[in-house]
Structure 1
Amino acid sequence: MSEIVKDKEDYVVTLTDISLKYSGQKNEIAAIQDINLDIKEGEFICVLGPSGCGKSTLLKIIAGFLRPSCGEAKMDNSIISGPDWHRGVVFQSPTLYPWLNIYDNIAFGLKMRKFSKSEIKELTNKYIELVGLKGFEKHKSYELSGGMKQRASLARVLVNNPRMILMDEPFGALDALTRQNMQTLIRAIWTKTQNTVFLITHDVDEALSLATRVIVMSSRPGRIIEEFNTDFTHNISGANHGEIRYTHEYMNIREQILKIISGQSEEIRFS
């Protein structure tokens, strides 16, 4: 039976032969090279790789913050030419306006898009409740913990109902317990909303416990050198989170990923 080839229009984002170079002090430096990636509707993709391999560069190209030196980045078959609310970004450090309270921070994008007052109120309250911040609407960001700030940042993205959520190490600055709670939250939200998620992390266990596909990048210039299709996130609940991590399949994939990243790190050390 011949293989069925899907049309590019079936994907939310397509990256074709993407490379990006930037000017160094002496010569050009290649950040990423020959990236080809098709992202399906509703996927949860986690990206791993050694430090400096271009993970954040790749995210910024999808977000529209950077233009590739060559190749094409498309969303819904149209060239990505700049930032767009259809691609919401959550950074490692919460990007909340300190002079606004949590309600107004979350409502900000809707106000800029000229939603009616009633729509703004309904949607903002909906997402405040979804991320567990009900009762903190009038607080300023500096009055909240790191985890609560990140919940507010997530709600500010979600309220705009983007096609895709881009997350650049969103839990990296959080303590272990808060980080696990945030992973549980984003998994629950993704399961409920079926948004397409693209998340960068250095944590192999975080990637395996969240992703439906794990992408591993090489040392600079960053290339995609391995992909793993996973479904651990569908089987994880609060009660069995630890049990999943000790299954043979989980440990096998985890070991493969660690070996790949370790090998890339050795290349960096001795290059």
Structure 2
Amino acid sequence: MRPSPELYLTALHDESARFAEAVALAPSGAVVPTCPDWSADDLLWHLTEVQRFWAEVVRTRPAEPVEAAGTRPEGRTALLAAFTEASAALRRELQDADPGEPAWSWAAEQTVGFTLRRQAHEALIHRVDAELTAGLPVTEPHPALADDGVAEALDVMYGGLPPAGIDFTPVCGVVAVHLTDTGTTWWTQPGSLSGVRADGRDLSGPHVLLLDPREPLDAVAAISGPASVVDRWLWKRLPDDAVRRTGDPDAIAAFEAAVRPAIE
């Protein structure tokens, strides 16, 4: 069960505010250790563009947005002002919309709620990036948000049901993802996709499905750790040894192959 819309809205506000505070303490040219191709100002502009884009998605719902790149301001002061404006617009649009209303997204779920959830987690992860860039301790998120972040990473960012015409083949048994602080266990089925999407994109390769069983499943392997650790590990914001692995090594390898690509 997902957290409430109110928790997502609060998280979006708090994580965005922490992001701005942290990135403001980093020199403009400081390298983002978790995204080494970016400087601190690149990170700031990235989240500005993301939040501005999704504010427009919600404002013009359910129409598909017209992507128009904004002009990057010169200097840290102007960049921070642009972020403040974009972030306020996103929160304003989301708090005035019903999460169940239809709205465009790049995913199977086409609702305002998708944007609300996705942007709360986007702000969380980039707040982590900003704190690391500024040399600050990483702030622990709300446990329910981190718990949901693991589910979102597995079901949206890495997995999800394949589109029509794409075949999914399991390659091992079930792998459990156990969150030691919240007590939640997410059940996953690693496998592989084969086939070409309608737009011509070849989706063949490792994949993982987030299962929704009515009863606990018999898992052949497990990944475990606190929710915030597993969430950051899936997003490649922690080293490979941050989580505990137990069980069938082939199943662990299949799971890790599916979640190997880095997400920005």
TM-score by length of 1: 0.24
Which one has a larger percent strand, Structure 1 or Structure 2? Answer: 1
RCO comparison, higher one (Cα < 8 Å, 6+): 1
Which one has a larger percent helix, Structure 1 or Structure 2? Answer: 2
